[in-house]
Structure 1
């Protein structure tokens, strides 16, 4: 499998996971049975992703347009997505979550792009859901991948657990893009000295010993990452991983989007069911962006604040 197939698979699977699950977001676990893109209880058209994918595309398109990391440009694009529906192919406007919304408000008033709250109670999952483009753009430079994972999160989510969760996810994706076996990739961060004991537990893979009833698809960044890693590591196909995530209830569209990043980079483009891709909104836009990101030779000397 080629690197290109893994990169495209990752970004498309992110969008597919989002599109599968966004209709039942914040529903109780067990209240829905998602089997395909046509499952009921939708508020968006079939195949339409939500802001999980939308912000990933904003980040990716900024990285391409600026030939590297420009935090201010990223924040301008996030603001445009919500305020003016830029890059959003639906008539239904979306609203940001509390932490993200507060960061965008701060950016509007101060022009400070690293506007994410550093409070531990603001440790939401918004950095994880959009992470993959930063990894693709920096690949194969692991040091740059880890830096951009943290910085792309810090714009809107500055809590240390958010930064470390994104860094851990980025390391795992890096190994998947290299074609490393799944069991080795998910252990990518086990020997790192993480500040957060909970991130240390995730890096060790303790979630593998948990019963599925203990896996929580909550918006708390540690719960979200644990759920996505569990869905990826305990299933045997991309389809099974994304459906497991979509049926967790609660913040399942974000968990499914993150699971898609992992599963897509592991199983590749050809593992995504054709009937999912046939209805996925903006499929060509997503595929072309993944290709441009993986072949990007970024200018790492540019001002990261823009």
Structure 2
């Protein structure tokens, strides 16, 4: 049953991620911002974002949210085909697309999932790595399709999170991170509790100890400790988790994430998905919600409406 509290936290996961993205946009690729310098949603940055405008993180999340709003199985091949087609169309004119994601989406012989997976594998084989943070940054809306409490729902969410990650990111670290984060967001939405290790048993056995160590490290670190490498999905997750773990509110979590510097919009978008699931949409500062907007000509209220559709199907 979707109670008012669960509804608020589910919508919060979507709005929190988008707000983190927009808040961090003006600070991307810059050094860490220490206290007491304020963090403000004023836009700017490398791509001249308008105040409150989200970047590629949320632009790639929107098709996932729309998939959830349509109902059905988000991990089905037709649904995955739809994501690839939407991302490819968006990336053709987007000002800011991650290098790895752009390399996968550019030049696809067909805008379908099988072609994207093949391109992602090729990108990994050429570069020798493909664990950027570009699949984790967009993953939060997927959780809204898995909140009914059915038997095996966590397992199906984990499978879908990995399948969607695999469309652009071949390396196991990326898929593992999406599994852990989605399961943690779902748990927070349903219970109001923070548990990033909730999904550890859904990873391959030989990967579990590695991820436990990474999460424990994050629990005893500051978000800024991961600044230099936060384009890597592992460091991005660790920085985001550290920000949420130490936070007292949604705003506090997002500000802590942005203070890290470097890939600020993505770290804050990742943090915002989990923090929004903990604190709820109602905790988002009204000024931020009013400013929030981005591709494809949507605003915060549109994200709320899509989220509510996803919760209703």
- Mark the CA change 1:79 to 1:201 in structure 2 (over 3 Å): closer, same or farther: same
- Mark the CA change 1:270 to 1:81 in structure 2 (over 3 Å): closer, same or farther: same
**Structure 1: which 5+ runs fail to align?**
85-92, 297-306
* Residue 294 of structure 1 pairs with residue 311 of structure 2: yes
Q: CA deviation at 1:154?
A: 0.6
Provide the C-alpha distance between the structure 2 equivalents of 1:211 and 1:67, rounded to a whole number of angstroms: 40
Task: Decide whether the 8 Å contact of 2:43 with 2:50 is kept in 1.
Answer: no
- Mark the CA change 1:159 to 1:260 in structure 2 (over 3 Å): closer, same or farther: same
- Give secondary structure in 2 for the equivalent of 1:79: helix
| TM-score, normalised relative to structure 1 | 0.85
Match of 1:276 in 2: 288
Q: How big is the alpha-carbon RMSD for the aligned residues of Structure 1 and Structure 2?
A: 2.3
2:159 to 147, 171, 178: 147
Match of 1:76 in 2: 85
Provide the C-alpha distance between the structure 1 equivalents of 2:88 and 2:224, rounded to a whole number of angstroms: 37
| TM-score, normalised relative to structure 2 | 0.83
- Mark the CA change 1:239 to 1:280 in structure 2 (over 3 Å): closer, same or farther: same
Task: Decide whether the 8 Å contact of 1:227 with 1:245 is kept in 2.
Answer: yes
Task: Decide whether the 8 Å contact of 1:229 with 1:259 is kept in 2.
Answer: yes
Match of 2:302 in 1: 285
In the TM superposition, 1:132-281 aligns within 5 A as 132-139=140-147, 140=149, 141-182=153-194, 185-190=195-200, 193=205, 195=207, 198-203=210-215, 205-216=216-227, 218-281=230-293
- Give secondary structure in 2 for the equivalent of 1:215: helix
Task: Decide whether the 8 Å contact of 1:161 with 1:222 is kept in 2.
Answer: yes
- Mark the CA change 1:175 to 1:202 in structure 2 (over 3 Å): closer, same or farther: farther
**Structure 1 residues 246-300: Cα deviation after superposition (integer angstroms, max 9, x where no partner):** 111110100000111001010001111111112112111111111122233xxxx
- Mark the CA change 1:156 to 1:278 in structure 2 (over 3 Å): closer, same or farther: same
**Structure 2: which 5+ runs fail to align?**
294-298
